[in-house]
Structure 1
Amino acid sequence: MSDMAKNLILWLVIAVVLMSVFQSFSPSTTEEQQMDYTRFIQDVRQGQIRDANVDRNGVITGEKRSGEEYITVIPGGYDRDLINDLVKQGVRAQGKLPEETSFLTTIFVSWFPMILLIGVWIFFMRQMQGGGGKGAMSFGKSKARQLSEEQIKTTFADVAGCDEAKAEVEELVEYLREPERFQKLGGRIPSGILLVGQPGTGKTLLAKAIAGEAKVPFFTISGSDFVEMFVGVGASRVRDMFEQAKKAAPCIIFIDEIDAVGRKRGSGIGGGHDEREQTLNQMLVEMDGFEGNEGVIVIAATNRPDVLDPALLRPGRFDRQVTVGLPDIRGRAQILKVHMRKVPLNDDVKASVIARGTPGFSGADLANLVNEAALGAARKALRVVGMKEFDAAKDKIMMGSERKSMVISESEKEMTAYHEAGHALIGRLVPDHDPVYKVSIIPRGRALGVTMYLPEQDRFSHSKQHLESNISSLYGGRIAEQLIYGSDKVSTGASNDIERATDIARKMVTQWGLSEKLGPMLFAQEEGEIFLGGSSSKSFHLSEETAKLIDEEIKAVINRNYQRAEELMKENIDILHAMKDCLMKYETIDALQIDDLMARTTVRPPAGWDDKDSSDSKSNKSNGDSTTEQEASSDEPEQVKDDEKASPVKADTSKPSDDTAAS
């Protein structure tokens, strides 16, 4: 019998008992209270009856003059002749009360609303507990779901990009398959494995692969499933979960987002009766207490290990921490191949090329990239997914969707072209800078234009030269606007560039020790997230002279790189104008067109570009000079040429727009 049926029967029994108790105390009419009709006639003739109430069934109720209540029934209804004869002959006449409804019918009619309310209350109690197949009396039962071997299809072949993490957990599978091989040498497998990594790196996927390879029972639960509003429920669920796991040993318990219940104790919130702390205490005891946990391996995942209680991380509980980091270029290529298995690909698709253009992408980001490419191909009614769809999906994820419904005036579009050309030009001229990959003046996200840089390899540290080159390229857009339009007409498009450049310069001086005057000293702490028990800020005692020197050094770094970018821009002003013209014509140029511009040669058109369409649009515009003059003299915004993809809405230039250079 299921738990639901047992709980239902229990509540029905309780309801019947309560109804019986209430029914026994309720007033009822019995035959002992009924008066003979003959006696009633005699009392009437003797004047002892004060009042009488007769209903349609011949039932008479009332009160005597003595205050005593009575009830009687006229025999035979209203046959007065018969009654008179009976009275004259001295025959005892007695009527019968109308037949009452059955006890069960009375219970059903009287108690059905209460039974309905009890049922609704049970339903909502189950919903408050999150369902999970537990009854209203099962607060302390574990919510861990047990997955069988057939339900887990994931193996190590489905996990890519984290070879070191896989190697560390593979011995768990070997221990679960052959525990004797480890026990002979006195080895003890870690009882707890903590998977640490950024969101989307594949921690849960790796835990599933362990269970799929080991072919053992797999219990999965979230850290938030332990804690309820009732004190003691979380600890009871922890005990129940480990009891179930011991019965199914050898097995694996996977606790996702363990930081929900494993935060540091003693934070000053809740005290000793805090439900979360009691749950954590019970988990500590179950993982390494007086009783052993042989054959039960606990795997937990979190992306915030810094907030976990130290007692939870000590050897004997979570003996080993496995870091699942962001994949490198080779790992990204492997992950892409895993996700491309179910996608029909064109012959021009190369996972290694896509991996090179997606630095910093996690496994989840790459899965999303493949999905976006497949959706893009489906929208075009293609049978296979080509490299063009992958490039479009990558641009959409990194830079945002194209805002084709947005139209800007010709003059503002030209300023955006100069701005992005300034970024690209300085990025190509300064040393140790990532190569410029693509430049576009099509609005994407919050930016009117985007300049993308594609690193030749993954960078894990940055040199001083690389950082200063980034500052120079960030100011390239503002410098281009200043040289072309003058200082009075510089736009707000460089607001994000200034913010990023200032942040790099400040960290160079205060955190990374790259200032010759201040030396390798720490003057500011990197800002981190605020957790329970942590401080919102780090205080540094700086004298006024030191603070003034820090400001001077930051300003010197920015001015030095600003002047360098300005000199390079003046020396190559012809390339800036040519790149602007190229952007105005094609709207988007890639590395091939940029190479031609830097070499001062004829710029090849982008792939798929048809010059015939462009010339037709120009001739159509020249044939309608009168219309163009009327449009220019009116208050309507100037229409952009067809080959420049005009949109029906004018841009709102009252707010500063962020001009990002994605890398």
Structure 2
Amino acid sequence: MNGRNILIWGLVFIFFIIALQLFEFSSPGPTVERLSYSQFVTRIDEGAIRQAEIDGVNVKGALDNGRQFVAAIPEGAAPQIADRLIAAGAETTITPVEELPLALSLLFNILPFLIFLAFIFFVMRQMQGAGGKAMGFGKSRAKLLTERQGRVTFDDVAGIDEAKEELEEIVEYLKDPMKFQRLGGKIPKGALLVGPPGTGKTLLARAIAGEANVPFFTISGSDFVEMFVGVGASRVRDMFEQAKKNAPCIIFIDEIDAVGRHRGAGLGGGNDEREQTLNQLLVEMDGFEANEGIILIAATNRPDVLDPALLRPGRFDRQVVVPNPDVVGREKILQVHAKKVPLAPDVDLRTIARGTPGFSGADLANLVNEAALLAARRGKRFVTAKEFDDSKDKVLMGAERRSMVMTEEEKMLTAYHEAGHALVGITVPGNDPVHKATIIPRGRALGMVQYLPERDRYSMTLQQMQARIAMAMGGRVAEELKFGREKVTSGAQQDIEHATKIARAMVTQYGLSEKLGPIAYAEDEGEVFLGQSIARTKSISPDTAKLIEDEIKRFVMEGYETARRILTERRDDWERLAQALLEYETLTGEEIQKLLKGEPIVREEPEDFAASPPSSVPTTGAGADKERKGPEGFEPSPQGA
């Protein structure tokens, strides 16, 4: 419970205590007889009053029979009544009347009402959103970041040099606007940062503000959207009003696709509130009134859904692509995140960068953090290369399942399965070097073979795709050759899916089938509605569809036959590799090469955990669960892997 809630409940308690004090009822007591003035005078004359107390126009006391009484007398009659009581022998007391000032008397009378109104007003303010301000719905929720909240510069951003160069021009303009204005140049009003999640788009925006040393307003696209129509547009207006007061400044809108989606698109109809908010944003960016000195920077990983009017020149003039870093960029990012981590001499950041293709900046930061936590858990003073390897395995594939009980038959089947993958992958030209083979269960896989690419790959050749298919089929072929078709398991399910996915892309997207030619038979998926992608497919005749399936089957079966031929010809090497996996559970790429050359494996001390860097190439595993996707090494995209 936070301090505000404690304060509210405390005030509620105090209010009810005051109310009880003001409206307190007397506890039940003796019966009081109320006398009229004539009855009271008669009782005095009869001598029936034993004791009386006169307080202004009120008299209370006791009768001879012990009963209490009260009576009212005329104003100014107190002296005469007192004389008659004394003459009758009654014990008489007169209480002097103290007159209160009129203002104080009024205050006492209306004080309960004022307290009640103040309490209701306070509760209403706390229930009201928008910072506790009544009617504050239309106020901007943009936060102004200052140096006290951590100044970020371009020195803190690594691995995305091209994006930094494009944005450095904005920094130069904010520092010296006349440099551009004297030549008639105008700085772009907006820059859209586009890239996958975790690549550093938000960090880049903060670095621009830190380098230029100007006010930096940050807000999320979802902060504009409310259930009330017009609130988002009001917040946009208020945000730009605040920015004008602090110009020159930067406004950063994160996840702008929440409010900047294409108007009128989608099967579910438009949202009036969202479209009004977008309309107001378009007008503020480039309307009749120029917003000089205000630079709008937005970030999204879905530029395809944004409205075209938002992307035209004059609004978001530039689209800065922030991609996943290459091997050089990954090394620089690792250097930035490893500054505060004590590294052992055996740690080579370039080797780690080489083994992490496809990793974003956030992935690399998480990798360094996991390695530091693992070293601390093991009681080490430095983070060694083993911690980095172990953390990469954990991040990519999950923790080891050494507590999982496997029978000797299952271990043997897994060993021959993985040995088949490894041997086929080494033999077929076009595959990356094998980095590790293991039969230790991880995640949902009972074993796996990892391949370490020698460099980042941006496209794939036909030979490499065929090699991937053959390598994927090596596990199934190994099970059939060693144990017979009746003993084949479901462990190759993911391998078959992977091989089919590659073959389908070769036929329908890359035009690698001689019978079908260089024609695309598949299109990208369309709109996403109710969480499901609505695909747009071309009209294909039944004969063409059958030919496509025949070609996909041909590519897969060619890989299958290649794997069978290799394992049959090199059966001795395959047996030797499988037996070594049963003995050591994990083999590195160097140890596998020694085995294939007939050299013995020599280890200084037994390893209970062998780690390897994650790879963007396929990781094959026996016994993988259907839902286990794992690191995909090949995605059917125009760029290949």
The equivalent of 1:276 in structure 2 is 274
**1:120 aligned onto 2:123:** yes
Conserved in 2, the CA contact under 8 Å of 1:256 and 1:302? yes
Aligned length: 563
Which of residues 222, 227, 230 is equivalent to 1:229?
227
CA-to-aligned-CA distance 1:404-460 (integer Å, 9 cap, x gap): 221111110111111111111110011111111111111111101111111111111
User: 1:654, 1:295 → 2: CA distance?
Assistant: 56
| Residues 574-598 of structure 1: CA deviation (Å, up to 9, x unaligned) | 1111111111111111111111122
Q: Does 1:329 align with 2:332?
A: no
- Deviations along 1:157-204, whole A, 9 cap, x unmatched? 111111110110011111111111111111111000000000000000
Partner of residue 382, structure 2: 384
Q: Do the aligned partners of residues 417 and 99 (structure 1) sit closer, same or farther apart at CA in structure 2, a change above 3 Å counting?
A: farther
Pair 1:661–1:198, CA change in 2 (3 A): closer
1:465-484 CA-to-partner distances (Å, cap 9, x unmatched) read: 11111111111111111110
Instruction: Give 1:121's aligned amino acid.
Output: M
Deviation of the 1:528 alpha carbon: 6.3
In 1: Cα distance, 2:209 partner to 2:627 partner = 49
1:608 aligns with 2:605: yes
**C-alpha distance in 1, partners of 2:532/2:183?**
44
From the superposition, tell whether residues 658 and 420 of structure 1 become closer, same or farther in structure 2 (CA, over 3 Å): farther
Asked if the contact 1:589/1:606 (under 8 Å) is kept, the reply is no
State how 1:446-595 maps to structure 2 within 5 Å: 446-527=444-525, 530=528, 536-595=534-593
Q: Counterparts in 2 of 1:342-421, with a 5 A limit?
A: 342-421=340-419
Return the match for 2:156 from 149, 153, 158. Answer: 158
Number of the residue aligned with 1:73: 72
User: Which SS does the other structure have where 1:381 is aligned?
Assistant: coil
Q: Helix, strand or coil for the counterpart of 2:357?
A: coil
* Cα distance in structure 2, aligned partners of 1:424 and 1:286: 60
Please give the per-residue CA displacement for 1:232-271, whole angstroms capped at 9, x wherever unaligned.
Answer: 1111111111111111111111111111111111136897
Q: Which residue of 2 aligns with 1:285?
A: 283
Question: 2:480 and 2:96 mapped to 1: Cα distance?
Answer: 112
The correspondence for 2:441, drawn from 437, 440, 443, is 443
Asked if structure 2 preserves the Cα contact closer than 8 Å seen for 1:493 and 1:657, the reply is no
Match of 1:200 among 179, 198, 201: 198
Partner secondary structure for residue 406 of structure 1: coil
Contact 2:367–2:388, Cα closer than 8 Å, also in 1: yes
Deviation at 1:606, TM superposition (A): 4.6
Letter in structure 2 aligned against 1:350: D
Gaps of 5+ in 2: 9-34, 43-53, 60-69, 86-94, 611-622, 634-641
CA 1:324/1:571 → structure 2, altered by over 3 Å: closer, same or farther? same
Picking from 188, 209, 225, the partner of 2:186 is 188
Matches of 1:522 and 1:317 in 2, distance apart? 36
Residues 207 and 448 of structure 1: CA distance in aligned 2, closer, same or farther (over 3 Å): same
- The residue that corresponds to 1:51 in the other structure is none
Secondary structure, counterpart of 1:391 in structure 2: helix
Deviation at 1:307, TM superposition (A): 0.8
Q: 1:504 to 1:97 in 2, by over 3 A?
A: farther
Matched residue, 2:210: 212
Check whether the contact 1:451–1:662 (CA below 8 A) recurs between aligned residues: no
Preserved contact between residue 346 and residue 384 of structure 1 (Cα < 8 Å):
yes
With over 3 angstroms needed to count, the CA separation of the structure-2 counterparts of 1:272 and 1:546, relative to structure 1, is closer
SS at match of 1:415: helix
What's the CA shift for 1:226?
A: 1.3
Distance 2:434 2:126 in 1: 61
In the alignment, structure 1 residue 252 sits paired with structure 2 residue 250: yes
Distance 1:410 1:349, change over 3 A: same
Residues 543 and 657 from structure 1, CA distance in 2 versus in 1: closer, same or farther, beyond 3 angstroms?
closer
Q: Is the 8 A contact 2:418 2:447 kept in 1?
A: yes
Contact 2:327/2:353 (<8 A) preserved: yes
Q: Tell me the alpha carbon deviations over residues 298-330 of structure 1, each in whole angstroms, 9 at most, x when there is no partner.
A: 000001111111110000000000000010111
In the aligned structure 1, how far is the partner of 2:233 from the partner of 2:532? 26
CA distance in 1, matches of 2:609, 2:345: 30
The gaps in structure 1 that reach 5 residues or longer are 9-35, 44-55, 61-70, 87-94, 611-641, 645-652
* Counterpart-to-counterpart distance in 1, 2:314 and 2:627: 54
Q: Distance in 2 between matches of 1:509 and 1:246?
A: 56
Give the SS at the match of 2:587. strand
Counterpart Cα distance in 1 of 2:346 and 2:371: 14
Match for residue 238 of structure 1 among 236, 239, 264: 236
Q: Given the alignment, which residue of 175, 178, 192 partners 2:176?
A: 178
Distance 2:450 2:138 in 1: 55
Question: SS of the counterpart of 1:301?
Answer: strand
Residue 136 of structure 2 is aligned with which of 138, 143, 149?
138
**Match in the other structure for 1:21:** none
The residue type equivalent to 1:603 in the other structure is P
Structure 1 stretch displaced more, 517-526 or 105-114: 105-114
Query: Within 1, Cα distance between the matches of 2:187 and 2:180?
Result: 8
> What is the CA distance between 1:155 and its match in structure 2?
0.9
| Alpha-carbon distance in structure 1 between the residues aligned to 2:545 and 2:37 | 116
In 2, the alpha carbon distance for the partners of 1:549 and 1:607 equals 56
Moved more, 524-533 or 509-518: 524-533
The answer on whether the counterparts of 1:152 and 1:211 sit within 8 Å (CA) in structure 2 is: no
1:403, 1:442 within 8 Å by CA — same for their partners in 2? yes
Q: CA RMSD in A?
A: 3.8
C-alpha distance in structure 1 between counterparts of 2:557 and 2:591, whole Å: 31
Letter in 2 for 1:505: A
Where 1:407 maps in the other structure, the secondary structure is: coil
Corresponding letter in the other structure for 2:438: S
